A and B are shown apart, each in its own frame.
Chain A
């Protein structure tokens, strides 16, 4: 009697069913993986098309707006003064933009970084917001899941800013005296320290060994060269580089241990 004639539930048949099920599961998982890869490739490709479109159009609008406004007001921009101003202040921000692009693009992924560079306020909002979202979702940098979480986070954050600012502008007359009152002034002057205090707890707690050295080195640097406090955003690069070098040393030690 062949296996096919064995009563249901016998070992042989169960074994065959198990094998068939395994094969089916494997095929099913394989199909799912292929689908996932296809979905991600399609998503990524379109993100770049959409991101470039959004960047291109926003650039045109932002550079074109002063000319349109100039036409409306009856005074076009003085290009000589623009060139002079660019040399005096623009070059610093150009260098800063290159650094921001190199550092933040890997942090945010493609979709998140396109949006973040369009909507701005990276250091004081978008980067901490994306890092917080990453922590809550538990995703790892460089994974497709992190790309999704980062894009969701930056898009939401940008929309909230746009809505808050639009509401604020609409309610400017009643809001101005409240928000600019001497009582509340210190509170709004310290939004960034409040943000970094909370974020510091979250990150230092989990990486105490890694955090101490950059904090001590940066504190000493700012104590010895107080004028650097006006260039804090540029000091992020050496601070980040130091942290990454330390992280690499720790990572190698852990691997060899």
Chain B
């Protein structure tokens, strides 16, 4: 079965879908770059955005690739490759694949006992469970964005007096909430991960986050005080790398 799941036909099917998405990314990238230049944005900033986003994404992408490796033993390589290149999320795929395997009677996700029907069922379930973001975007992205940009007349008046300028702060606050949820989960995992207030859970994520933050502080200091602004493009990637290396020594 694994041989069939890793066959050239499977690579062709999955590769074509990935290629389509890659082409879409290039189209969006080129359009945004041209539009940015047309409205008078500095091409240097546009290029810097591309460079920093590229360096930022390398390490998480290697982490995502490990998800492909993890799933390739039971689902072959092409399907996890497709799932994690398009729409998928690292934390989602394994969880749904396991649940889908239970539904088709495999007990757990493994190549032993995998049948063509079981595989195609798992594959369909993995696709269906996470497609709602795309469906919502298809139907509501335009109206939602329009509503945010042009609030109704009554609300607009209120917005002018109260909420103007708050949008940016709200986005920052939302992101702080996101980061706090994750950092809080690491602290909670250490303190109560193996029983309430036992302080015997794993400390590694906390150490990694702290090291990464400290290295980020050094990068920021160098960029701001030593006029090494170019470092900003690599500061997140560099901090992550050192933080991840720290995990090896924990």
CB contact between B29 and one of A56, A73, A152 (< 8 Å): that residue: A152
A244:B177 contact, CB within 8 angstroms: yes
B89:A123 contact, CB within 8 angstroms: yes
Interface bits A210-246 vs B (CB < 8 Å: 1, else 0) = 1100110111111111101100110110011111101
Name the interface residues of B1-31: CB closer than 8 Å to any CB of A: 4, 9-10, 13-14, 16-18, 20-22, 24-29, 31
Docked complex Cα distance between A154 and B206 (Å):
28
Q: Which residues of A contact B192 (CB under 8 A)?
A: 222-224, 226
CB contact between B103 and one of A81, A113, A137, A221 (< 8 Å): that residue: A81
B239:A198 contact, CB within 8 angstroms: yes
A sample of 10 inter-chain contacts (CB < 8 A) reads: A65-B127, A82-B121, A85-B100, A120-B89, A169-B77, A214-B177, A228-B185, A241-B177, A247-B170, A247-B172
Docked complex Cα distance between A107 and B39 (Å):
21
Docked complex Cα distance between A228 and B4 (Å):
39
Q: Which residues of B contact A50 (CB under 8 A)?
A: 24, 27-28, 31
Q: Is B54 an interface residue (CB 8 A)?
A: yes
Q: Which residues of B contact A136 (CB under 8 A)?
A: 45, 48-49, 52, 232-233
B23 smallest CB distance to A (angstroms): 9
A195:B116 contact, CB within 8 angstroms: no
Docked complex Cα distance between A54 and B133 (Å):
13
CB contact between B45 and one of A43, A137, A161, A211 (< 8 Å): that residue: A137
B18:A162 contact, CB within 8 angstroms: yes
A198:B21 contact, CB within 8 angstroms: no
How many interface residues does chain B have, given as a range? Answer: 35 or more
Q: Given contacts A197-B183, A197-B216, A202-B216, could you give 7 more A-B pairs where the C-beta distance is less than 8 Å?
A: A40-B35, A105-B145, A111-B31, A115-B24, A152-B29, A154-B28, A226-B192
Docked complex Cα distance between A65 and B88 (Å):
15
B184:A222 contact, CB within 8 angstroms: yes
A233:B131 contact, CB within 8 angstroms: no
- B interface SS class: helix
B197:A223 contact, CB within 8 angstroms: yes
Q: Which residues of A contact B167 (CB under 8 A)?
A: 106, 140-142
B97 smallest CB distance to A (angstroms): 10
B210:A218 contact, CB within 8 angstroms: no
Q: Which residues of A contact B84 (CB under 8 A)?
A: 120-121, 161, 165
Q: Which residues of B contact A132 (CB under 8 A)?
A: 52-53, 56, 236
Q: Which residues of B contact A166 (CB under 8 A)?
A: 18, 81, 85
Q: Which residues of A contact B247 (CB under 8 A)?
A: 186-187, 189-190, 194
A43:B31 contact, CB within 8 angstroms: yes
- Please name the residue on chain A nearest to B130 by beta carbon: A93
Q: Is B222 an interface residue (CB 8 A)?
A: no
Q: Which residues of A contact B64 (CB under 8 A)?
A: 121, 124-125, 161, 164-165
B141:A127 contact, CB within 8 angstroms: no
Q: Which residues of A contact B16 (CB under 8 A)?
A: 61
Q: Which residues of A contact B107 (CB under 8 A)?
A: none
A119:B178 contact, CB within 8 angstroms: no
Interface bits A113-154 vs B (CB < 8 Å: 1, else 0) = 111011111111101110111001100111011011101111
Given that A190-B243, A192-B182, A251-B166 are known contacts, is A58 also in contact with B56, CB under 8 Å in the complex?
no
Number of A-B contacts (CB under 8 A): 569
The 10 residue pairs across chains A and B that have the minimum distance between CB atoms? A222-B188, A75-B116, A218-B184, A197-B209, A197-B212, A240-B177, A70-B120, A97-B132, A194-B243, A75-B117
B185:A235 contact, CB within 8 angstroms: yes
Given that A36-B40, A194-B212 are known contacts, is A151 also in contact with B244, CB under 8 Å in the complex?
no
B32:A201 contact, CB within 8 angstroms: no
Docked complex Cα distance between A89 and B126 (Å):
10
A161:B240 contact, CB within 8 angstroms: no
A101:B136 contact, CB within 8 angstroms: yes
Docked complex Cα distance between A251 and B168 (Å):
11
Docked complex Cα distance between A99 and B56 (Å):
25
B24:A72 contact, CB within 8 angstroms: no
Q: Is B174 an interface residue (CB 8 A)?
A: yes
B189:A222 contact, CB within 8 angstroms: yes
B148:A93 contact, CB within 8 angstroms: no
CB contact between B188 and one of A111, A151, A176, A228 (< 8 Å): that residue: A228
Docked complex Cα distance between A204 and B180 (Å):
10
B53:A153 contact, CB within 8 angstroms: yes
B248:A137 contact, CB within 8 angstroms: no
Q: Is A67 an interface residue (CB 8 A)?
A: yes
Q: Which residues of A contact B82 (CB under 8 A)?
A: 65
A61:B28 contact, CB within 8 angstroms: no
Q: Which residues of A contact B53 (CB under 8 A)?
A: 129, 132-133, 152-154, 156-157, 160
Q: Is A84 an interface residue (CB 8 A)?
A: yes
A162 smallest CB distance to B (angstroms): 5
